[in-house]
Chain A
């Protein structure tokens, strides 16, 4: 991928929690304008940390980008406060605590600060559009978000993130808590939105099936490092990916858990 056209570029990123815990190290990746890029990895690989490094930390997080750069539209934005990052056009659907539980569904949407120059009427129209896409939310619009189901929360979080009129949308575990059909729908919506609004998406997923279905490019994160990247085609063909992310046996029968650990270890040492 060429550096030109990259909307977002991470350069040798390193994030340290509580001044001692290094969560990711030397992570480099690129997301070109209009692309959907998948970031895959098992639990604790550093996917959430990577997204958080892009959207910025608060003082209480006690986390910092200690090395490397985050380039967005040619500006370096690492260690900026989250609201400034949001104003530059990056929205996130977080992994946890993704809605304001003490606010109603409608209030959740209204609290969102739209992109600069959005009129009140325009904003109201957008809220209506979110309700059109997610009729379940419309039915629950007066309820407190704290009483929503996991899937409904996910819909609300995606709706609210889109109301920020982002140029880049970060989604931490899109399929979390959602019925397979809804996930299909959402993925279709994302592809549509990309065409419609020129939206660019960085998708974190546990399920490689889901992510590789729509992605233009994929990265695989292990123990805080990028160990593999390529087109979905190439990733799907890769033996390790088939085995550990697509749940297929690498040729013949499925290997045991010990082999998985072995794989992890080898990744840690040689990846």
Chain B
């Protein structure tokens, strides 16, 4: 049972980070390879805000959430906007450069030493007994609920709101979308803001649970196989991919060795690519366009 609980937490983390990849890819066909660095940046921003407003944990959290949206927005406007309508590969290269740049900047600003935002907020991460001998830290439990809430929100947004539908339209056919009067920049900017928000939430929750240092970006990279397994343009796929990768990882840790955990996602990915290169839920033709 404890294993199931551990898997659930990891699924939540991977699904959150994965949704960031999917959001941007789905709307603009760009793979944001800086996703790991961005979630780390948001986590560090939370740390700094927690240091500043130690007495008001709620406002520190709210501020970090707002900043995560803002970071995505600013990145799009400053960096990615000029890539709109250009070749996708150029944009992907820009995100790689962005990731390297961010990593360097974060080491400069936050030194890369272990930071514990939870302590700064003055909170305790007490374990919660869930019955049947299962225990999870309270942050881990929160993580599961946050992931569910964000996914429900995203599904509702894309299905029932005008801008959600428009973002899907832009993702399928930007030219036609533009001809129908949809502002491409608005759709792309919203995708970036939402992606840094959901990825950032994962980063913040991870940092609250177990602190953060320079290695967090690796977790972002480990979530990349998750979305490839599920299919890059599908949120449902991201959940299933997270389920597969997280289960494999947790089981490998328990049955083989904790040291293999970082490799497992990529082993799953390779197995997957051999069978269905476009992922479980992805669109077949999409892979050809990358």
Residues of A within 8 A of B (CB): 55-56, 58-61, 81-83, 85-87, 91-92, 94, 97-103, 107-108, 110-114, 160-161, 164
Contact A87 B181 (CB under 8 A): yes
Residues of B within 8 A of A (CB): 84-87, 162, 165-166, 168-169, 172-184
Contact B180 A58 (CB under 8 A): no
B174: which A residues are within 8 A, CB to CB? 58
Contact A100 B176 (CB under 8 A): yes
Contact B182 A113 (CB under 8 A): yes
Contact B179 A55 (CB under 8 A): yes
Main secondary structure on B side of the interface with A: helix
In the complex formed, the residue of A with least CB distance to B186 is: A83
A102: which B residues are within 8 A, CB to CB? 168, 172
Most interface-central of B84, B166, B179 (chain A CB within 10 A):
B179
B179: which A residues are within 8 A, CB to CB? 55, 82-83, 85-86, 91-92, 94
11 contacts between A and B (CB under 8 A): A55-B179, A58-B174, A60-B87, A83-B179, A91-B179, A94-B179, A97-B175, A98-B176, A100-B169, A111-B168, A113-B181
Contact A100 B178 (CB under 8 A): no
Contact B168 A103 (CB under 8 A): yes
User: CA of A103 to CA of B84 in the docked complex: distance in angstroms?
Assistant: 22
Contact A86 B180 (CB under 8 A): yes
A110: which B residues are within 8 A, CB to CB? 162, 165
Contact B181 A83 (CB under 8 A): yes
User: CA of A81 to CA of B174 in the docked complex: distance in angstroms?
Assistant: 11
User: CA of A91 to CA of B85 in the docked complex: distance in angstroms?
Assistant: 20
B85: which A residues are within 8 A, CB to CB? 58-60, 81
Most interface-central of B87, B166, B174, B175 (chain A CB within 10 A):
B175
A85: which B residues are within 8 A, CB to CB? 179
A58: which B residues are within 8 A, CB to CB? 85, 174-175, 178
* Cβ contact of A107, chosen from B165, B178, B184, cutoff 8 A: B165
Contact B175 A61 (CB under 8 A): yes
Q: Are A100 and B173 also in contact (CB < 8 A) when A60-B85, A111-B162, A111-B166 are?
A: yes
In the complex formed, the residue of B with least CB distance to A160 is: B180
Q: Are A83 and B169 also in contact (CB < 8 A) when A60-B85, A92-B179 are?
A: no
In the complex formed, the residue of B with least CB distance to A101 is: B172
User: CA of A160 to CA of B165 in the docked complex: distance in angstroms?
Assistant: 14
User: CA of A16 to CA of B87 in the docked complex: distance in angstroms?
Assistant: 19
Contact A100 B184 (CB under 8 A): no
In the complex formed, the residue of B with least CB distance to A161 is: B180
Contact A100 B162 (CB under 8 A): no
User: CA of A101 to CA of B85 in the docked complex: distance in angstroms?
Assistant: 20
Q: Which 6 residue pairs across A and B have the least CB separation, nearest first?
A: A113-B181, A59-B85, A82-B178, A86-B181, A58-B85, A111-B169
User: CA of A61 to CA of B175 in the docked complex: distance in angstroms?
Assistant: 9
